[in-house]
Each structure stands twice: as structure tokens, then as C-alpha cells.
Amino acid sequence: MFINCKKNVVISDGKQKHIIPKDFIGEVPKWVENNWYFKALCNDSSITSIVGTRDKAVEAAEAKAKATADKAAETAAKKAADDEAKAKAAAGGGPA
């Protein structure tokens, strides 16, 4: 797990310990993630865990935005075609 730690912390499970220095940004071992003290530090915002990587999150957001934009463009084109057909029908240019 990738974390950002705001203060000096020592996580221990009795057999081993892991020191996390103040302003640390990086990975921690799996056993640290499951430690009760680590979870408590995450809850009080002393440690911020980063679940996904920025690149994947940005790619997902861009894909969602593109899909939304494509759908909006399709809807706008359909509405414009409908409006044009109604305008022709009102002007006597053909059936609506």
C-alpha cells in the first residue's frame, strides 16, 4: 500500500517492527497494513493511504469524461436533426 505519513511512527506486531518517518511517502509491507495501530493512524488522518495509482485514476476519469462527452454530442446531434425536420415541416417543406 502506498502511504503518506505526517509524523514519526513505529508499527510493531511483537515479532517485527517497521519505522515510518515523518513526511514519508511510499510503500509499506502488507503486515503493516493489517496492523490495528496502522488502521487507527489512518482513521485519525496521521497516515493517508493511496489506494490507486494516479495514472490509472486519471485514465479512468478521462474515459468516463469521453463517454459522457460522446453521449452528449450524440444527443445534441439528434436534437438538432429533429429541430431541423420540425422547421422544414413548419415551413411546408415536407412531413414532420
Per-residue pLDDT tens digits for 41-73: 999 989 998 766 557 777 777 888 888 888 888
pLDDT of residue 94: 55
- The domain limits of the chain are 2-50, 55-91
Per-residue pLDDT tens digits for 16-29: 999 999 999 999 99
Angle at 56 between CA 54 and CA 58, to 5 degrees: 65
Q: Which amino acid, 91?
A: A
pLDDT of residue 54: 59
pLDDT of residue 9: 94
Closest to 6 in 3D by CA, of 17, 18, 27, 20: 20
Whether residue 79 has pLDDT greater than 60: yes
pLDDT of residue 53: 57
Q: Which amino acid, 92?
A: G
